[in-house]
Amino acid sequence: MSHFGRSGPPDIRDTFSLLVLNISFRTTADDLFPLFDRYGKVVDVFIPRDRRTGDSRGFAFVRYKYAEEAQKAIDRLDGRNVDGRNIMVQFAKYGPNAEPIRKGRIIEEAEKSQERSRSRSPRPRHRDDNRDRERRRRSRSRSRERHGCDRDRDYRRHSRSRSQSQSLSPEYKDRRGGRDDDKHRSKSRSRSKSKSRSRSRSRSRSYHSASPNRRSASPSKRPTPHRSPTDNGSPEKQTNGKGSPPSRSASPLPHRAGSRSSGSDGKE
């Protein structure tokens, strides 16, 4: 029974939040609790779920009472295989209120003022945090794109957010560009045909329609160019034409393989 998240966060004043990524969609808080609780006092375990479907988003938040225990859990559970998925445990960078947290602990006004009073933080902090925060907001929308909200994404593309596009890290564009370009190209092709593909647009959203390994789905192509004729299952072809063209695979029955199979040979 999930006694967590019953009435929101219990008390995050002195807790250290851990972000657990890459968990299975079936993994629940009850599954994670015993795993993390063995390394320390777990105050709360929360798994964000989709508003509509209610399924988990693939990550969870585990709040520890002490930082050392949280750190130990990270060291012990990070990379652990849970429910068939390799989970990633790390300190949360942002709190529930979208506030930046340090070392998994929510920054409090009192603490901040105290730090400033005692000593000006020698650590200037990386600017990446700011960028990450923006990236986080956009990424959240991305999670919904698989649910059928691609319309919104297309709309944004048309809008073209000025220099913000290139302002984003190149790696982001590169990563997204590859897939996006592929999808866009596919869509353009469909549009060119102007066939009744409008309804299949939803289905066209498949991330990878065909695995690179299974690219041999086209019989016209040559899936096994270096395949030995003997292994091909047509030994007669070898005796028949020693200079058989490489495109033999394309024609399964171009000519009667040998004069013996002329007519009724009794197909297997």
Partner DNA sequence: GTTGAGCGTT
**Interacting residues with DNA (CB under 7 A):** 5, 7-9, 12, 17, 19, 21-25, 44, 46, 48, 55, 57-59, 61, 63, 85, 88, 90-96, 98, 101, 106, 132, 135-136, 139-140, 142-143, 146, 172, 175, 207-208
Q: 3-class DSSP state for residue 112?
A: helix
Q: 3-class DSSP state for residue 18?
A: strand
- Residue 45 buriedness (CB in 10 A; 0-12 / 13-18 / 19+): buried
Give the C-alpha separation, 121 to 60, whole Å: 30
Smallest distance from DNA to CB 93, Å = 4
Q: Where are the beta strands (DSSP E) in 94-218?
A: 101-102, 105-106
The residue among 11 and 265 lying less far from DNA, judged by its C-beta, is: 11
Smallest distance from DNA to CB 244, Å = 40
Smallest distance from DNA to CB 89, Å = 10
Yes or no: say if 108 and 47 are a contact pair by the CB < 8 Å rule.
no
Half-sphere exposure of 29 (CA within 13 A, CB side): 17
Give the C-alpha separation, 129 to 141, whole Å: 19
The residue among 102 and 187 lying less far from DNA, judged by its C-beta, is: 102
Q: 3-class DSSP state for residue 37?
A: helix
The residue among 65 and 237 lying less far from DNA, judged by its C-beta, is: 65
Smallest distance from DNA to CB 84, Å = 8
Yes or no: say if 219 and 253 are a contact pair by the CB < 8 Å rule.
no
The residue among 208 and 242 lying less far from DNA, judged by its C-beta, is: 208
The residue among 24 and 249 lying less far from DNA, judged by its C-beta, is: 24
Q: Which long-range contacts (CB under 8 A, 24 or more apart) does 214-222 make?
A: 219/249, 219/250, 220/250, 222/246, 222/247, 222/249, 222/250
The residue among 53 and 198 lying less far from DNA, judged by its C-beta, is: 53
Yes or no: say if 25 and 58 are a contact pair by the CB < 8 Å rule.
yes
Smallest distance from DNA to CB 17, Å = 4
Smallest distance from DNA to CB 265, Å = 43
The residue among 139 and 224 lying less far from DNA, judged by its C-beta, is: 139
Sort strands 16-21 and 88-91 into parallel, antiparallel or unpaired. antiparallel
Smallest distance from DNA to CB 153, Å = 13
